[in-house]
Homo-oligomer: A and B are copies of this chain.
Amino acid sequence: MNTKYKAFCDDPDCTHAHHSWLAADNALHEGGHEIRQRRVYVYSPSGAVQDKVAIRRGARYLTKAGYDMVLDEAVFARQTRFAGDHATRLAAIKRAADSGADVALISRGGYGLNHLLPLIDYAHVAQSIDAGVQWMGFSDFTALQLAVLAKTGRVTWAGASLGVDLGHADGPDEITLACFEDVAFRVGEGAGWRIGKDNAEYAGLDLQGATLWGGNLAVLSAMVGTPYFPQVDGGVLFLEDVAESPYRIERMLIQLEQAGVLGAQKALVLGHFTHANVTAHDRGFNLKTVVQALRDRLQIPVLTQLPFGHIRTKVCLPVGAKVDLQVGAREALLVWGHV
């Protein structure tokens, strides 16, 4: 691996924040800057937007960066905790599919997709993907991503949301933005991250052509046994979560293990499990315990430190795409080429 992870292009005149982690293969810059304006369609499939300011700030930021920003008419809808009732959110998903956008981006996650899954027109979503719409989000959005993969085999992107990430009060995280732009401009070919001693045993790992899939652990494990859970054999499964205590994380992983999901994969890649708070009763039982026990039980690599989850710096990952997973002494690399 002669690749380098660099957050940004070195060209001081570049007005776009493209990152080029494959320094020798920066296709975007080889052709100069003749770049078509990209459209981003923002909609709310899950929870009601609580922070409208963040949505407007994110839209303003991306507009200034050159994007054609379109906010769905129901982006601020609310019914109790949801961004509108079932019909409202289903219609928003349909409009996102019909948007002709380069990226159909969630305003935020929360909770609300699970009960919509039987009602979604998956053929219509698949058509939109074939026509070039790239669906992106994370957290609750995992439910839609897995259902689309199960029902259509199409690729969606685990990545940023407008409210939490791109509309952040401090501005978007540089790497998060760069990865988002890679998707918007269809130049992303992979994601690399630094790994520590915790992953030393996996140095030299080189998996080829495995299906990348995953997302939020709570959402994903809550779909086991349903028709919306994809049957992936020999895949690379990535997982993250927020505000789940270590014993709950273990219980969810055990469900995946005992259901035969983990054993059927070539590798497990853990992102960040934020606010995985322990209590006095845990007495030393923590995330490390959970990961170590998992490594002891499973026959497959369990990598950690993937920059993904409920954290500011998150890469974009193509759910359902074939990837190579390469692990060096200090970094790991997921490579998908052009999706």
Interface residues of A (CB under 8 A from B): 47-48, 50, 78, 80-82, 110-111, 114-115, 117-118, 218, 221-229, 247, 250-252, 254-255, 258-259, 261, 281-285, 289, 293
Contact = CB atoms under 8 A, between A and B. Distances in A.
A24 B50 CA distance: 59
Contact of A258 (B227, B255, B261): B227
A283 B78 contact: yes
A282 B81 contact: yes
24 contacts: A48-B281, A48-B283, A80-B284, A80-B289, A81-B247, A81-B281, A81-B282, A82-B285, A110-B281, A111-B251, A117-B258, A118-B258, A218-B251, A221-B222, A222-B252, A222-B254, A222-B255, A223-B255, A223-B258, A224-B259, A225-B225, A225-B261, A226-B258, A228-B258
Given A225-B259, A258-B118, A247 B281 contact: no
A52 to B, nearest CB: 14
Given A81-B281, A226-B255, 14 more contacts: A80-B284, A81-B247, A81-B282, A81-B283, A111-B247, A114-B250, A114-B254, A218-B251, A221-B222, A222-B252, A223-B255, A225-B229, A225-B255, A226-B258
Count of identical protomers in the assembly? 2
8 shortest A-B CB distances, which residue pairs? A225-B259, A80-B285, A226-B258, A225-B225, A224-B225, A81-B285, A111-B247, A80-B284
A299 to B, nearest CB: 14
A254 B284 contact: no
Contacts of A227: 258
Nearest to A258: B226
Contacts of A110: 281
A77 to B, nearest CB: 12
A124 B315 CA distance: 50
